[in-house]
């Protein structure tokens, strides 16, 4: 029995009552679409005598409580649906969205409140005051009959009635009274004899006192135990007194929701809180109880329900009827009770497992082929969990697509599917998807139904565990490559769309407060994928064996509770998984209770001298700012206050082996440099002198950049590097390494995730080399590679094909296809042969990839169109054992992707003829599920949109409209409606498309069809809504959408109602969810702008998993890597708020004797250098000669949101390093531009020594620290910056700047001197070093000459001033000397900063810290 729960506050389900057991007895009349019968509920009442149930869309005949008539109040929700508000306040998109929020939340709130209030007071009074005869008469008056009375007797015998208990208690009391009277008579006669015996025993008592004391203690203990037992008995007696048996007789006529009649089939679909629409219950996920189910149907029908089928009873009626009796002992909530009635074909499993598969007769052959694998999944789960199937017999029912409400409907020990997932033995494409869907439905029986969530906030845990089991099945029976590839794509999808609080797993605002809508729509899919990823992270941390033990303990039959909470799972992870409490204390709040995924941007640099790889890391978060917070601007990306717990691993593939380095923490500073020791070494090479006319750094303008990068990578013992290779964490990783290393990763790494990452980077390179194209082509031709990654390589070749490469990608694709499918003798395609299934999938994707190739004028090359037309024309499937329906559909879809230019427009008529021929053929001989017709309709629509000037859209609409007739297959009808909506949008605009959708939604009879149309319109709105325009949708259209939202049609179809609500939110520029949206009050302008920005930057629909969006190129521009508006980041911690940032300016000031003109000249040089310094981590120009290090850029960190003055620049100069020990790990080059184009880069230069790395990191921290050496000082009036400066002369830096004491300085100076001596010895023969040394000597000589001239000028001017007579006031004026022209060579500002450490002590460096004032 279910554990009794404490009474909840007002408004809780059931009014504080707990359901202990429920029985459902129904009779189904298929001809009249009628359901009648009763339900009996055994409830434990709270202090009050009233309790409440959910009931709707039915007629209540009478209600009995313990066999007596009871008063009740019934207010069905569906009767109040027609009374919609007038929507007078709606005047624009914003007010329409507010009205939709108000109406939707009001409906959800009212539906969650019980509406059948039952009072048991009258029944108590009637049993004490009225005789039994009168009670029986009243029962008959309330609609009871003889059959119902017999049913009442049966219920009393099974569960115990109140009357029977009262009679038995009365008999027991009489017997006890008689015994007490006899005992009293005996005691009077024995009083005298007992007194004599007591006197004799007084002497004995004194002797045995000690023994009696011990006996008394034992008796006291026994008495205490007896008292405890008595208390327990009293509690049980009170429960028995508060337990009531409620019987509700009702009738359900022509039901429209909850249960559905279609032809001769009835099936239930509870959706969200729709179970009470076909039987009274407490429709809440937290109320669970066992069920007894009895259904009476015609003898030619089969009734399938939950639990074990106990027996079948054949009645003696005319015509005879059959009763199916089921019993479900496991407590479940009402939403998991299901019923299916129809003339099914039952197919028991042939492998001896307790599974039955059912379908209608036309699909029996498909069912036999589909379920051949099912015993593998069934045995896989039982073996992994070490527990049998929890419900005895598992039943799968497959119904036609037009009947079901959703593709999958779960129930306790049952599951209802659409026949769309059944695959024929001749069809290849559906096999993988069908097996995964059936395996997931079976996993939900263990996690989600048998073990349910304790609270709505814990539903993510059960959903994630079911997905985890499904991934286990995929890995065992579909291959490790398939499992890893799917998990990688799922993680990419989560990182892309986990940007708001709506995807928080355990947050009450994202689960409980959303009334169950968090499980539907695109956000529901993201939550499911994220839940699986989080649980897999925990499994990696604790180990697979410990995680398996936890799951076995959860589903064990000996476990007391059948519910699971995140708190209990956290305890198990600590106790069994051996995870430390501090880790769990950080893990659960960060991953479960909040939103967002970590962003790791990394760049590498190799130091040949130290044989070290230095990794520059920039940390961020995908989560956007909370719209309710005033401290965030639009589109901000915030960071977690504490980051994410855990340590990420870096795998370095070297020439001598593979080495893992688990040294990259997930949490920490926003900017960090990590060192990795290399184990392999590269032999020294002779230095080659620079050629005449080449640059000082050894590069050449005529040499390709990729060639230089490849040459540089040859000097390192690194093949390629991977971050988090085992996908231990859910993170968005942007890694940057040379192109040759990406090519090595693609060609040599056997991991499918590694290969996919390499392809994603190579196809996005701004400048493509033939080495990249050849690498992609070689991988496409590799038959040992995983077929999904080979398909990605084919698409990458199509993307990289351009005029610059002479369409090399297109030529490779055509050559690959012809080598596999063409006859070399005649030059035509051979007949189809699909025995090699991986090769079939790769070849099937080639036509679509060819159609994506574009020439310089953005049109498809003529040879690409001719190739697709040739494939369609000569397709021959004779002799092939497999169907080519999906093969042909892929070719037709490729035609829809073609862009017709001047060269290809002549082939349009031939393509249209081929499509028309396929349409007629599929109409005359209907193919498999209408797949070919659907693809032809879609291709016609896309061609019409692209060449609308050559084709009349009205003619295309007339051609497609007949496919909406009811005699067409359901899939074809829905696709025709979608296509017509697209054409209406292209021809007349968004408002006309919405009006057409309202028309189609009203005409569509199936619930699933209405849902699919609404989802399609939602995507149309997401792609075409312009937030700057308010006239895209007219007021009449908005009012019509609001009426549809509150109509009875939407009440019957929960998914349709939710999507209509999302359409209205998207139209107003808001996210399509209830989370974070104002429900009753209009939002402030700031909130509205934030919502619009969130919509425009993140599409809520889940992308296709076939096309990856993964790491960026090795040397991307800032705008390619990051969005244009991202917050500035503190170097010390990860901040969630936008605060005032400090601006650091480093200036080089001349000596006091230098002139103003000279200072102006130097400042102009600095400005010019700053304008030129826009490279992303290129070679340092101040170092002459070749360098053995290689530098790879990481993208920028972010840019501040406040508008900045264009004159404020941030610079950070590199320190002076020798050419053999220099390593520059560029995180980004810092630069601030105007308010319309703000970007920021920071270059973090790491020295070859550890202490130099730490000192430069401290300098980076100081640059972004809000308070460092603050002194009182104010700039000129009108300036927005406060100048605070500290100065030091020569190389003597204050301790507050470098943080070193005198001992450390001396030690460092000694190391520097020793290093300089060694380097000078090595550089004696280096011409570049000698040239640099000569320039330095000339520079020093010029400086000395300039200083000497200035001193002479000062001396002469002073003598002239002394000799000059004073004026009448006795004052004199000292005139400065004329500025002398410096003859020193022109050097950049970077050179000046680098040489600062070696300049004479007369020079001073002044550092200004100017914090930015808060504007507004």
User: If DSSP states are collapsed to H, E and C, what string results for 1138-1151?
Assistant: CCCCEEEEEEEECC
DSSP 3-state of 631? coil
Interval 1308-1323 mean pLDDT: 70
d(CA 522, CA 1015): 10
pLDDT of residue 153: 37
H or E element at residue 43: strand 34-44
What are the CB-based long-range contacts (under 8 Å, 24+) for 921-930? 926/969, 927/885, 928/424, 928/427, 928/883, 928/885, 929/420, 929/969, 929/971, 930/968, 930/969, 930/971, 930/972, 930/975
Tokens of 1391: 């050179």
464-478, 1067-1081, 1385-1399: least confidently modelled range = 1385-1399
Say what percent of the chain tops pLDDT 90.
46
Written as one string, the DSSP assignment of 1187-1230 is: -S-EE---------SS---TT-----PPPP--TTT-EEE-S---
Tokens of 179: 């015994």
Name which residue leads in pLDDT, 241 or 15. Answer: 241
Give the angle subtended at the CA of 415 by the CAs of 411 and 417, to the nearest 5°. Answer: 135
CA distances from 409 to 551, 640, 1047 (A): 24, 38, 24
d(CA 173, CA 179): 10
Interval 1380-1398 mean pLDDT: 39
**Among candidates 506, 427, 496, 501, which has minimal Cα distance to 460?**
506
Count the helices and strands in the chain (H runs, E runs).
42, 35
Mean pLDDT computed over every residue of the chain: 75
Kindly tell me if the per-residue pLDDT of 648 is higher than 60. yes
d(CA 1093, CA 862): 41
pLDDT tier for residue 238 given thresholds of 50, 70 and 90: low
Q: Distance between the two ends of the chain, CA-based, in angstroms? A: 64
Kindly tell me if the per-residue pLDDT of 638 is higher than 50. no
Helix pair angle (1035-1045, 93-112), 10° resolution: 10
Interval 9-14 mean pLDDT: 48
pLDDT of residue 350: 87
Specify the pTM. Answer: 0.71
H-state helical runs in 1068-1098: 1085-1097
Contact 895, 915 (CB under 8 A): yes
d(CA 1215, CA 688): 26
- Dump pLDDT digits (tens) for 1075-1118: 876 544 333 332 333 333 333 333 333 333 334 333 333 333 32
pLDDT of residue 273: 87
pLDDT of residue 669: 87
Say what the alpha-carbon torsion angle 1116, 1117, 1122, 1123 is, to the nearest 10 degrees: -140
Contact 489, 1108 (CB under 8 A): yes
d(CA 1294, CA 457): 55
Contact 915, 939 (CB under 8 A): yes
pLDDT tier for residue 530 given thresholds of 50, 70 and 90: very high
User: How many residues are present in the chain?
Assistant: 1416
pLDDT tier for residue 18 given thresholds of 50, 70 and 90: confident
**Helix, strand, coil percent values for the chain (each to nearest 5):** 45, 15, 40
Interval 532-543 mean pLDDT: 94
Side by side, the strands of the sheet bearing 355-359 are 345-348, 355-359, 394-399, 414-418, 408-411
Interval 904-910 mean pLDDT: 89
H-state helical runs in 1223-1249: none
d(CA 50, CA 1379): 100
Name which residue leads in pLDDT, 210 or 1124. Answer: 210
**Among candidates 128, 122, 17, which has minimal Cα distance to 64?**
122
Interval 269-277 mean pLDDT: 88
Kindly tell me if the per-residue pLDDT of 82 is higher than 80. no
185-194, 271-280, 806-815: least confidently modelled range = 185-194
d(CA 908, CA 912): 6
Interval 467-477 mean pLDDT: 96
- Dump pLDDT digits (tens) for 33-43: 999 999 999 99
pLDDT of residue 166: 45
DSSP 3-state of 281? strand
Tokens of 511: 């689960």
DSSP 3-state of 800? helix
d(CA 721, CA 453): 42
Contact 516, 335 (CB under 8 A): no
Contact 1384, 1165 (CB under 8 A): no
pLDDT of residue 749: 94
CA distances from 841 to 4, 759, 837, 1099, 1124 (A): 55, 18, 6, 29, 39
pLDDT of residue 1287: 34
Pairing of strands 414-418, 394-399: parallel
Kindly tell me if the per-residue pLDDT of 877 is higher than 90. yes
- Using a 10 angstrom Cβ sphere, with 0-12 exposed, 13-18 middle and 19 or more buried, the burial of residue 926 is middle
Please give the backbone phi and psi of residue 727, each rounded to the nearest 5 degrees, phi first: 50, 50
Interval 1026-1045 mean pLDDT: 88
Sign of the Cα pseudo-torsion (822, 824, 830, 833, in order): negative
Kindly tell me if the per-residue pLDDT of 984 is higher than 50. yes
Contact 1115, 1176 (CB under 8 A): yes
Tokens of 922: 């599929």
Kindly tell me if the per-residue pLDDT of 322 is higher than 90. yes
pLDDT tier for residue 474 given thresholds of 50, 70 and 90: very high
Contact 1388, 1169 (CB under 8 A): yes
pLDDT of residue 521: 87
pLDDT tier for residue 1029 given thresholds of 50, 70 and 90: confident
Name which residue leads in pLDDT, 1227 or 474. Answer: 474
pLDDT of residue 1313: 73
Tokens 């999906």 found at: 886
pLDDT of residue 1333: 78
pLDDT tier for residue 1350 given thresholds of 50, 70 and 90: confident
Contact 432, 394 (CB under 8 A): no
Interval 849-857 mean pLDDT: 93
pLDDT tier for residue 1345 given thresholds of 50, 70 and 90: confident
Interval 452-474 mean pLDDT: 94
Name which residue leads in pLDDT, 859 or 1285. Answer: 859
DSSP 3-state of 355? strand
Side by side, the strands of the sheet bearing 657-665 are 657-665, 647-654, 718-723
Name which residue leads in pLDDT, 143 or 188. Answer: 188
**Among candidates 1349, 1356, 1351, which has minimal Cα distance to 1383?**
1349
Kindly tell me if the per-residue pLDDT of 1266 is higher than 60. no
752-761, 790-799, 1088-1097: least confidently modelled range = 1088-1097
d(CA 690, CA 1057): 73
Contact 1290, 1401 (CB under 8 A): yes
Interval 350-357 mean pLDDT: 90
pLDDT tier for residue 422 given thresholds of 50, 70 and 90: very high
Say what percent of the chain tops pLDDT 70.
64
**Residues pairing with 615 in the sheet:** 604, 674
Interval 582-611 mean pLDDT: 91
Interval 723-752 mean pLDDT: 94
d(CA 742, CA 1163): 42
Name which residue leads in pLDDT, 633 or 388. Answer: 388
Contact 758, 774 (CB under 8 A): no
Omega within 30 of 0 (cis) for the link into 425 = no
Interval 1274-1285 mean pLDDT: 34
Kindly tell me if the per-residue pLDDT of 1290 is higher than 60. no
Most confident of 323-337, 580-594, 705-719, 1019-1033: 323-337
Kindly tell me if the per-residue pLDDT of 1386 is higher than 60. no
CA distances from 366 to 391, 419, 872 (A): 26, 9, 28
Interval 740-761 mean pLDDT: 95
CA 393 to chain centre: 34
H or E element at residue 848: helix 837-851
pLDDT of residue 1093: 38
- Contacts for 1044 with CB less than 8 Å, ≥ 6 apart: 998, 1001, 1050, 1060
d(CA 158, CA 166): 16
Tokens of 56: 């709707």
Contact 1411, 1140 (CB under 8 A): yes
Interval 375-387 mean pLDDT: 95
pLDDT of residue 211: 58
pLDDT of residue 567: 93
Half-sphere exposure of 509 (CA within 13 A, CB side): 14
E-strand spans in 279-344? 289-298, 302-305, 308-314, 321-332, 339-342
């Amino acid at each position: 029995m279910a554990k009794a729960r404490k009474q909840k506050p007002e408004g809780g389900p059931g009014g504080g009552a707990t359901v202990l057991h429920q029985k459902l007895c129904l009779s189904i009349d298929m001809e009249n679409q009628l359901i009648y019968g009763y339900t009996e509920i055994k409830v434990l009442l709270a202090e009050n005598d009233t309790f409440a149930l959910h009931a709707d869309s039915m007629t209540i005949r009478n209600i009995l409580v313990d066999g007596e008539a009871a008063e009740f109040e019934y207010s069905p929700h569906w009767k109040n649906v027609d009374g919609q508000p007038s929507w007078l306040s709606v005047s624009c998109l914003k007010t329409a969205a507010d009205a939709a929020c108000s109406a939707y939340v009001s409906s959800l709130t009212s539906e969650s409140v019980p509406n059948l209030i039952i009072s048991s007071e009258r029944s108590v009074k009637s049993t004490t005051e009225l005789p039994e005869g009168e009670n029986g008469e009243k029962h008959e008056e309330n609609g009871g009959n003889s059959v119902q009375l017999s049913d009442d007797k049966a219920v009393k015998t099974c569960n115990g009635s109140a009357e029977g208990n009262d009679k038995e208690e009365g008999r027991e009391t009489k017997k006890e009274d008689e015994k007490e009277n006899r005992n009293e008579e005996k005691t009077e006669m024995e009083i005298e004899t007992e007194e004599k015996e007591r006197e004799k025993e007084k002497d004995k008592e004194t002797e045995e006192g000690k023994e009696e004391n011990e006996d008394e203690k034992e008796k006291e203990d026994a008495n205490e135990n007896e008292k405890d037992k008595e208390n327990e008995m009293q509690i049980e007696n009170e429960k028995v007194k508060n337990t009531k048996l409620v019987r509700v007789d009702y009738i359900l006529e022509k039901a429209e929701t909850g249960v559905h009649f279609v032809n001769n089939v009835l099936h239930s679909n509870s959706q969200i809180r729709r179970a009470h629409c076909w039987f009274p219950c407490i429709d809440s996920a937290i109320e669970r109880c066992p069920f007894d189910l009895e259904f009476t149907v015609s003898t030619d029908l089969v009734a399938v329900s939950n639990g074990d089928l106990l027996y079948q009873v054949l009645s003696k009626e005319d015509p005879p009827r059959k009763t199916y009796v089921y019993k479900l002992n496991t407590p479940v909530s009402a939403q998991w009770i299901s019923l299916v009635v129809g003339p099914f074909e039952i197919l028991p499993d042939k492998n001896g497992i307790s599974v039955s598969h059912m379908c209608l007769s036309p699909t029996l052959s498909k069912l036999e082929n589909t379920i051949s694998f099912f015993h593998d999944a069934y045995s896989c789960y039982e073996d992994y969990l070490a527990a049998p199937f929890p419900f005895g017999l598992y039943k799968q029912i497959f119904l036609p697509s037009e009947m079901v409400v959703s593709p999958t409907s779960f129930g306790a020990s049952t599951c209802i599917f659409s026949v769309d997932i059944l695959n024929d033995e001749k069809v290849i494409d559906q096999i993988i998807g069908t097996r995964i869907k059936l395996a997931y439905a079976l996993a939900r029986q263990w996690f989600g139904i048998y073990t349910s969530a304790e609270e709505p906030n814990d539903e993510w845990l059960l959903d994630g565990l079911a997905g985890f089991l499904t991934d286990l099945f995929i890995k065992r029976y579909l291959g490790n490559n398939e499992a890893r590839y799917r998990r990688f794509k799922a993680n990419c999808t989560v990182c892309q769309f986990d940007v708001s609080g709506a995807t928080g797993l355990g947050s009450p605002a994202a689960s409980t407060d959303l009334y169950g809508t968090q499980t539907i729509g695109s956000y529901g899919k993201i939550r499911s994928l994220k839940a699986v990823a989080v649980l897999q992270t925990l499994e990696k941390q604790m180990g697979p064996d410990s995680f398996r033990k936890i799951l076995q303990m959860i589903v064990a039959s000996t476990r007391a509770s059948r519910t699971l909470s995140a708190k209990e799972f956290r305890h198990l992870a600590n106790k069994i998984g051996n995870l430390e409490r501090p880790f769990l204390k950080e893990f659960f709040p960060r991953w479960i209770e909040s939103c967002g995924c970590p962003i790791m941007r990394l760049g590498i640099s190799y130091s040949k001298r130290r044989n070290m790889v230095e990794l520059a890391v920039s940390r961020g978060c995908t989560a956007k700012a909370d719209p309710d917070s005033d401290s965030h601007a639009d589109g901000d990306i915030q960071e977690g206050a504490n980051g994410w717990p855990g340590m990420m691993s870096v795998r370095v593939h070297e020439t001598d082996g593979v080495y893992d380095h688990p040294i990259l923490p997930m949490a920490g500073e926003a900017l960090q440099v990590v060192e990795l020791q290399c184990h392999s070494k590269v032999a020294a090479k002779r230095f080659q002198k620079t050629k005449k006319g080449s640059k000082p750094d050894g590069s050449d303008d005529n040499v390709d950049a990729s060639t230089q990068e490849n040459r540089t990578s040859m000097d390192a013992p690194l093949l390629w590097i991977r971050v988090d290779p085992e996908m231990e964490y859910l993170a968005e990783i942007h890694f940057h390494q040379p192109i040759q290393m990406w090519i090595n990763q693609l060609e040599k790494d056997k991991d499918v995730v590694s290969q996919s990452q390499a392809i994603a980077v190579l196809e996005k390179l701004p400048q493509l080399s033939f080495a990249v194209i050849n690498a992609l082509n070689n991988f496409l031709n590799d038959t040992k590679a995983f077929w999904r990654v080979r398909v990605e390589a084919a698409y990458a070749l199509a993307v990289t094909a351009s005029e610059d490469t002479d369409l090399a990608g297109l030529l490779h694709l055509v050559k690959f296809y012809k080598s596999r499918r063409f006859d070399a003798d005649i030059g035509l395609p051979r007949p189809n042969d699909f025995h090699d299934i991986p090769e079939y999938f790769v070849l099937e994707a080639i036509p679509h990839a060819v159609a994506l190739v574009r020439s310089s004028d953005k049109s498809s090359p003529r040879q690409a169109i001719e190739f697709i037309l040739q494939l369609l024309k000569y397709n021959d499937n004779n002799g092939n054992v497999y169907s080519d329906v999906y093969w042909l559909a892929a070719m037709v879809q490729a035609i829809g992707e073609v862009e017709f230019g001047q060269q290809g427009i002549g082939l349009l008529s031939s393509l249209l003829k081929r499509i028309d021929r396929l349409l007629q053929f599929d109409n005359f001989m209907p193919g498999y599920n209408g797949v070919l017709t659907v693809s032809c309709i879609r291709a016609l629509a896309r061609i019409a949109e692209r060449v609308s000037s050559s084709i009349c859209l009205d003619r295309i609409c007339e051609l497609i409209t007949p496919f909406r007739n009811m005699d067409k297959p359901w899939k074809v009808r829905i696709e025709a409606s979608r296509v017509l909506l697209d054409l209406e949008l292209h021809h007349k605009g968004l408002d006309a498309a919405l009006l057409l959708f309202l028309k189609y939604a009203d005409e569509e009879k199936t619930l699933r069809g209405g849902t699919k149309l609404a989802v399609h319109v939602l995507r149309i709105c997401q792609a075409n809504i312009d937030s700057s325009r308010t006239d895209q949708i007219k007021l009449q259209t908005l009012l019509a959408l609001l009426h549809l939202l509150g109509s009875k049609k939407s009440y019957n179809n929960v998914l349709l109602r939710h999507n209509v609500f999302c359409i209205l939110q998207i139209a107003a520029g808001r996210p399509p969810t209830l989370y974070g949206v104002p429900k009753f009050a209009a939002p402030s302008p700031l909130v509205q702008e934030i919502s619009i920005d969130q919509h425009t930057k993140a599409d809520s629909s889940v992308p296709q998993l076939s096309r990856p969006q993964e790491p960026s190129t090795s040397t991307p521009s800032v705008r390619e890597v990051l969005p244009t508006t991202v917050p500035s980041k503190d170097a010390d911690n990860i901040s969630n708020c936008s605060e005032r940032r400090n601006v650091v300016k480093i200036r080089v000031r001349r000596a006091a004797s230098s002139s103003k003109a000279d200072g102006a000249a130097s400042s102009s040089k600095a400005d010019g250098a700053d304008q030129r310094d826009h490279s992303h981590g290129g070679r340092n120009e101040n170092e002459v000669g070749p360098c053995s290090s290689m530098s790879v850029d990481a993208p920028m960190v972010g840019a501040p949101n406040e508008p900045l003055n264009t004159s404020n620049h941030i610079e950070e100069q590199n320190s002076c390093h020798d050419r053999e020990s220099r390593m520059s790990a560029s995180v980004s080059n810092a630069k601030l531009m105007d308010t319309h184009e703000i970007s920021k880069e920071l270059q973090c230069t790491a020295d070859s020594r550890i202490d130099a790395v730490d000192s430069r990191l401290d300098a980076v921290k100081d640059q972004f620290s809000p308070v460092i050496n603050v002194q009182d000082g104010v700039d000129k009036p009108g300036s927005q910056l406060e100048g605070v400066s500290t100065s030091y002369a020569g190389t003597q830096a204050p301790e507050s700047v470098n943080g070193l004491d005198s001992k450390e300085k001396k030690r460092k100076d000694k190391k520097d001197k020793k290093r300089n001596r060694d380097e000078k010895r090595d550089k004696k023969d280096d011409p570049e070093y000698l040239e640099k040394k000569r320039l330095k000597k000339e520079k020093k000589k010029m400086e000395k000459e300039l200083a000497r001239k200035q001193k002479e000028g000062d001396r002469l001017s002073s003598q002239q001033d002394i000799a000059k007579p004073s004026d009448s006031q006795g004052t004199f004026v000292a005139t400065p000397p004329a500025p002398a022209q410096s003859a020193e060579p022109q050097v950049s500002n970077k050179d000046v900063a680098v040489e600062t450490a070696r300049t004479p002590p007369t020079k001073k460096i002044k550092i200004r810290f100017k914090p930015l004032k808060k504007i507004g």
